[in-house]
Structure 1
Amino acid sequence: MLRGLAGALALGVGAPWARWSGSPAGVPARVVDLRSDTVTKPGPPMRRAMAEAVVGDDDYGEDPTVRELQEKAAELLGVQQTLFVPTNTMANLICVMGHCQRRGSQLLLGQECHLHVYEQGGVAQIAGVHSHLIPDMPRGTLDLAELERVITRGLGSQYHPRCELVCLENTHCSSGGRVLPIDHLRQVHLLARTCGARVHLDGARLMNAAVALRVRPARIVEHCDSVSFCLSKGLGAPVGALVGGSKDFIEEAWRLRKALGGGMRQAGVLAAAALVGLADAEAVLQKDHENARTFARGLQELASPICSVDPAAVETNMVLVKVAGLSPAELCRHLQAVSAEEVAQTGRAVSVLLFPWTEQSVRAVWHRDVSTQDTELALKKWEFVLRQLRP
């Protein structure tokens, strides 16, 4: 599978991009960056909040802005406490280590979930946890019958590892930002609890799921024993994530954060940005979802034999586009490039940045730095490229 950074390096798009860049015809090119919702930059209100943040030593529990963020997030997520950490990858690792304290404990998770594919195998090389992969269903859910078979196999066995934890991801990145139904979360949690295991939710894009389901995040988290919550994706903060759970669990999470080097000092400058992102999250994410659906419908209407999309599968801010007749990397190069011919024919210069996602697809991700106008420009650029590629 050609994913993420590997695709970026192949395309040469790993460097930071301005919103505008030059073009061969001398016309400034509008850059529409759809690679990920991690590319957002703090806007003026967020920068002001960071500059004016009241800070203290968070490692001593003395940063008032961090405390405010943790308290507001705990209420939002419906958990007793939260803990501010540098990244969602660290948040996931802390939660796995907190639940799986016996070396060789078994972790059950989907084979394409972020924690398994993109987090450097930290649960194995750092936590000493044994992962058992379960095939993902099309929308990111797990096969409950297979989950039950594996989770019960270790009960009373001297040969099989004992399952301590099940990990779910919501929204599910590899399936295109699909939302896990609340009833599925409930069934997984019931099964895990019956077998003496717990459930961790990788909620990197939990707010996207909540907006799509039109529920409070706490309604989702109530079926989990811990949750990670990223602040630097759709919420637009430059750094940070949260671990959520019971008071006792967060006390252990603090110790694990320290062991992993994640204790920070005057972290209020980062927490302040997250507070701004939380304040307008629902409205911003709703607009991201609308723009993604608009794009998917527009691309479908082009009826190109090269690209196809299923608008019904676009539930949040991601669009997976199937590619035929050329490689996804080649399509991405065409969408990124700006030619004099484009300027002559369309009167504008647009560079659309994307990642190849698989050998037959590309992924586009909407975020607060992509406007409705940007969405229309990206669609028109796609139309121009497809017309040029037509046999």
Structure 2
Amino acid sequence: MDFRSDTVTKPTEEMRKAMLNAEVGDDVYGEDPTVNRLETLAAKILGKEDALFVTSGTQGNQVAILTHCRPGDEIILEAESHIFLYEAGAASALAGVQTRPIRGIKGAMEPSDVKKAIRSDDIHHPYSGLICLENTHNKAGGKVIPIQTMKAIYEIAREKDVPVHLDGARLFNAAVAAGVPVTEFTQYVDTVQVCLSKGLSAPVGSILAGSKSFIKEARKWRKRLGGGLRQVGVLAAPGIVALEKMVDRLAEDHANARQLAEGLSTIPGLQVDVDGVETNIILCNIKETGLSNEQFLTRMKEAGILAVPFDDGVIRFVTHREVTGDMVQIAVQRIRQLIG
């Protein structure tokens, strides 16, 4: 029972058939009809003029930063955002920008803090080249950043002429949890990256969407990073299935996450903020068990359960298409036994 991440999902049978039968061409020449269809579909769903297929969420975020910014610029982001914590310092290594982290509340930056962080026109200051948001927020436990918060930050950004990029790796989880179209979120950003290979179950790839002029320049940056792809239709085809068939079922993952959180919270020594489980990520505090993360994870692995350490004394569980309600019940029973 693999609760490590929603990235472990295998492609569905429909996706495999789509890969087998995909019509392909050379994408660098713009001749792959399947990836062209995927990009057109994604742009429409996300409410943007154009879109670009990229190999990963990290590549999508970094291409966005490279396209928006110049070396020496500063990007404003939340202190525990994926771009800041988990992308190997790529923003500085590749784009030559510095990061300005702001501590948020449950992953959400206060608009007033963002406004204060935007640099004035002073010779001593870097230019504020970009504001980056993340929704859902991974490190906060899959929290949905409220639409009103995004709107407030976007209005401040427009006033200061600073673009806004959204790391929406799990944005469809946010939309399903909020019960609104994904465009309710994307209307308040200039560009957005979404992953096809997490809860949507495609084997690889992400989408970067924005204006036509932005995507034209982003395509060049993707090429510079070695991301010029050839007969990529075999990877784009399951992405089409992901967008057309796999979004609504994310509600099942959310329900299973809530069930898992409720079950874990009844086990002595474990602490879970059940009401704080908004999507498919559960953070479980194990400190009262007296076990280290390594000891706890080893015992779980011996019981056939996989998860990951997320902080000192905190274990992350993630539900996805390959985790059923029955598996959740079994996992809770086994964890109760191993704690006892």
The answer on 1:189 being equivalent to 2:139 is: no
The residue correspondences of 1:160-171 to structure 2 (distance < 5 A) are 160-171=125-136
In structure 2, the residue matched to 1:221 is: 186
**Is the Cα contact below 8 Å between 1:207 and 1:281 reproduced in 2?**
no
Q: Deviations over 1:293-345 (max 9, x none)?
A: 0111122233x1x211011100000000011122122111111104xxxxxxx
Match of 2:308 in 1: 355
Match of 1:310 among 255, 273, 297: 273
Identity level (%) = 42
Q: Does 1:112 align with 2:66?
A: no
Contact 2:261 2:282 in 1 (8 A): yes
Q: Distance in 1 between matches of 2:263 and 2:154?
A: 39
Residues of 2 paired with 1:280 and 1:298: CA distance? Answer: 30
Cα distance in 1 for partners of 2:272, 2:263 equals: 10
How far did 1:147 drift?
A: 1.6
Contact between 1:111 and 1:134, CA under 8 Å: does it hold in 2?
yes
1:146 to 105, 109, 113: 113
Aligned match of 1:4: none
Cross-structure match for 1:372: 325
Aligned to 2:202: 237
Contact 1:85 1:242 in 2 (8 A): yes
Asked whether 1:382 is paired with 2:332, we answer no
Q: With structure 1 as the length reference, what TM-score do the two structures score?
A: 0.85
TM-score by length of 2: 0.97
Structure 2 residue aligned with 1:3: none
Separation in structure 2 between the aligned mates of residue 223 and residue 74 of structure 1, nearest angstrom? 15
**Is the aligned partner of 1:285 residue 2:250?**
yes
Map 1:322-333 → 2, pairs under 5 A: 322-324=285-287, 325-333=290-298
Task: Tell me the secondary structure at the aligned position of residue 209 of structure 2.
Answer: strand
How far residue 284 of structure 1 moved from its aligned partner, in angstroms, is: 2.1
In 1, the alpha carbon distance for the partners of 2:17 and 2:247 equals 21
Q: Deviations over 1:213-261 (max 9, x none)?
A: 1111111100001001111101111110111000100000111110111
Amino acid in structure 2 at the alignment position of 1:130? Q
How many angstroms apart in 2 are the aligned matches of 1:186 and 1:205?
19
Which is higher, the Rg of structure 1 or of structure 2?
1
Find the aligned partners of 2:308 and 2:263 in 1 and give their Cα distance. Answer: 20
Q: How far, CA to CA, are the matches of 1:201 and 1:254 in structure 2?
A: 18
Provide the rounded CA distance (Å) in 1 between the counterparts of 2:19 and 2:252.
25
Quick check: 1:182–1:220 contact (8 Å CA) kept in 2?
yes
Cα deviation digits, residues 154-174 of structure 1 (max 9, x gap): 222110111011000000000
Q: Is the 8 A contact 1:106 1:132 kept in 2?
A: yes
**Counterpart secondary structure, 2:28:** helix
Offset, 1:291 = 0.2
DSSP 3-state at the match of 2:95: coil
- The answer to whether 1:155 aligns with 2:120 is yes
CA–CA separation in structure 1 for the residues paired with 2:256 and 2:20: 31
1:128 aligned to which of 96, 100, 104: 96
Structure 2 residue matching 1:173: 3-state secondary structure: coil
Specify every segment of 5 or more residues in structure 2 that has no aligned partner in the other structure, as ranges.
none
**Distance in structure 1 (CA, Å) of the matches to 2:68 and 2:12:** 37
The answer for unaligned runs of 5 or more in structure 1 is: 1-31, 339-350
- Determine helix, strand or coil for the equivalent of 2:92: helix
* Runs of 4+ displaced beyond 6 Å: none
CA distance in 2 between counterparts of 1:227 and 1:386 reads 42
RMSD after superposition: 1.0
Task: Show the counterpart of 2:56.
Answer: 87
Equivalence for 2:17: 48
User: CA offsets, 1:13-40, max 9 Å, x none?
Assistant: xxxxxxxxxxxxxxxxxxx000001111
Residue in 1 that maps onto 2:232: 267
Amino acid at match of 2:25: G
CA contact (8 A) 2:200 2:247 kept: no
- Match of 1:353, as an amino acid? L
The alignment partner of 2:183 has SS state of helix
